[in-house]
Amino acid sequence: MTVPVQTAAPFGGSQGAITVGYYSVQDDVVVMHDEAGITTGKRQHLRAGEDPRGVAYRLTRESWQAKAPDFNRRLNYQPLGVA
């Protein structure tokens, strides 16, 4: 299964960006995979009533944040009005 995670919001002429997480659920455990289906080692036991897709979303976002170069990201400022 897949879960898309927004990594940059649309702004101006940019369409934004996403990353895709790949996961499966085995015996109430969310297991993350790469594009080829090989497990990445990230796993999370599901609590009672917890949504597997939500867990996969969080694990994908955390993985992306750990790899993302945040310092040189584009800063989006609101237009300044004339006072």
What are the beta bridge partners of residue 5? 19
- Taking 80 as the threshold, does the pLDDT of residue 72 lie above it? no
**What share of the chain in percent tops pLDDT 90?**
69
Domain positions in the chain are 22-67
- Taking 90 as the threshold, does the pLDDT of residue 58 lie above it? yes
Rg (CA), the chain: 17
**How many Å apart are CA 33 and CA 4, to the nearest integer?**
14
pLDDT in the model for residue 54 = 98
3-state secondary structure of 7: strand
3-state secondary structure of 79: coil
- The band of 32, judged by pLDDT with boundaries at 50, 70 and 90, is very high
Inter-residue contact 28 to 34 (CB < 8 Å): no
Strand (E) or helix (H) holding 48: none
pTM for this entry: 0.80
